[in-house]
Amino acid sequence: MKDSSITAKNIFGLIAWILISLCAGLIGSQFRPGEWYKALAKPFFTPPDFIFAPVWTLLYVLMGLAAWLVWREKGFNGARPALLLFIGQLLLNALWSFLFFGLQSLHLSLLEIIVLWAAIFAVTILFWKETKTAGILMLPYLVWVGFAAILNLALWQMNRGF
């Protein structure tokens, strides 16, 4: 199915996959840190707040690009399991923000981020099998969510009675 030529379909597909990815961020951004988060004890390795928006934006664009490469290579039907799992992990991504910031649940968000990381790992492997570049594009996201899971764990441990 690979069609690497510059066509309207390929350009539309690229834009669509990036927008689908960015939608997870848009949904997640509805749940903001607020005073609750500011009051939490935080580990020394907590990044400054201004880091999160640009990092996440870049990661969503890289994810969308990765999904597009797989879609362009195999089509939706040819890569259905990989692309459906990709969409599933985007939903899990948005759910984490709801659990952490919306429900203010450090333990539920910790459990969920472990599932999210496993889903990202599976997507990365499936994408890698379709096109190595797509798998490589997923690696920063996998690493960042791994870091976020460690941060979530530390926050839970430091704020159990909160």
Cβ contact 64:22 at 8 Å: yes
Q: What percent of the chain has pLDDT over 90?
A: 87
pLDDT at 144 over 60: yes
Mean pLDDT, rounded, for 104-129: 98
25 has a pLDDT exceeding 80: yes
Task: Tell me the chain's radius of gyration from C-alpha atoms.
Answer: 17
pLDDT of residue 53: 92
- 8-35+49-158 maps to which CATH number? 1.20.1260.100
- Give the confidence band of 22 by pLDDT, cuts at 50, 70, 90: very high
- What letter does residue 31 receive in the DSSP assignment? S
Residue partners of 76: CB distance under 8 A and separation at least 6? 83
How far is 123 from 135, CA to CA, in rounded Å?
A: 8
Please tell me the predicted confidence (pLDDT) of residue 63.
Answer: 98
89 near 119, Cβ under 8 Å? yes
